[in-house]
Chains A and B, each alone.
Chain A
Amino acid sequence: MDRNQLKKWFESPAKMGHKYSLHVVYFCTGCGIIEIPPSITARWDAERFGVIPVATPRQANLFLITGYVSVKTLKAVIRTYEQMPEPKFTVGFGSCPINGGMYWDSYNTIKHLDKYIPIDGWIAGCMPRPEAIFIAVTHLWTLIDKEMADGYKKYKENYRYYRANQEQLYGKLDWPPLFSEEDKK
Chain B
Amino acid sequence: MKSLKKKLESSFSDIKINITDDSRITVNIKKDAVVSILNFLKNLGYEHLALISCIDWIEENEFELVYILSAYMEKDQEYNEKEKKTILVKTRISREESKFITVINIFENAEPYERELHELFGINFEGHPRLTPLFLERDYKIPPFRKDFDTRKYVKDVFDKIPSIEERKK
Give residues in A with beta carbon < 8 Å to B. Answer: 71-72, 75, 100, 104-108, 110-112, 114-115, 154, 158, 161-162, 164-165, 168-170
Contact = CB atoms under 8 A, between A and B. Distances in A.
A115 B137 contact: no
Contacts, number: 54
Contact of B165 (A72, A100, A107, A158): A158
A104 B160 CA distance: 11
Interface string B138-170: 101000100001011011001111111100110
Q: Place the interface of chain B in its size category.
A: 20 to 34
Given A105-B151, A105-B155, A107-B155, A112 B138 contact: no
B163 A107 contact: no
Interface SS of B by simple majority? loop
B151 A106 contact: yes
Interface core residue of A72, A105, A110, A154 (most chain B CB under 10 Å): A105
A169 B165 contact: no
A115 B155 contact: no
A70 B34 CA distance: 36
Given A72-B135, A107-B144, A158-B169, 10 more contacts: A75-B137, A105-B155, A107-B151, A108-B136, A111-B160, A161-B168, A165-B163, A165-B165, A169-B158, A170-B138
A76 B106 CA distance: 37
Contacts of A107: 140, 144, 149, 151, 154-155
Nearest to A154: B165
A120 to B, nearest CB: 14
Interface core residue of B144, B164, B165 (most chain A CB under 10 Å): B165
Contacts of A161: 165, 168-169
A71 B162 CA distance: 14
Contact of A170 (B137, B152, B161): B137
B154 A165 contact: no
8 contacts: A100-B159, A105-B155, A111-B155, A112-B159, A115-B164, A158-B169, A164-B168, A168-B162
A170 B162 CA distance: 11
B144 A108 contact: yes
Nearest to B149: A107
Contact of A165 (B135, B138, B152, B168): B168
Nearest to B136: A108
Interface string B90-109: 00000000000000000000
A104 B156 CA distance: 10
Contact of A72 (B137, B168, B169): B137
Nearest to B135: A72
Given A105-B152, A158-B169, A111 B136 contact: no
A165 B159 CA distance: 10
A104 B151 CA distance: 10
Nearest to A110: B159
Given A71-B137, A107-B140, A108-B136, A165 B162 contact: yes
Contacts of A162: 165
Contacts of A111: 155, 159-160
Nearest to B139: A171
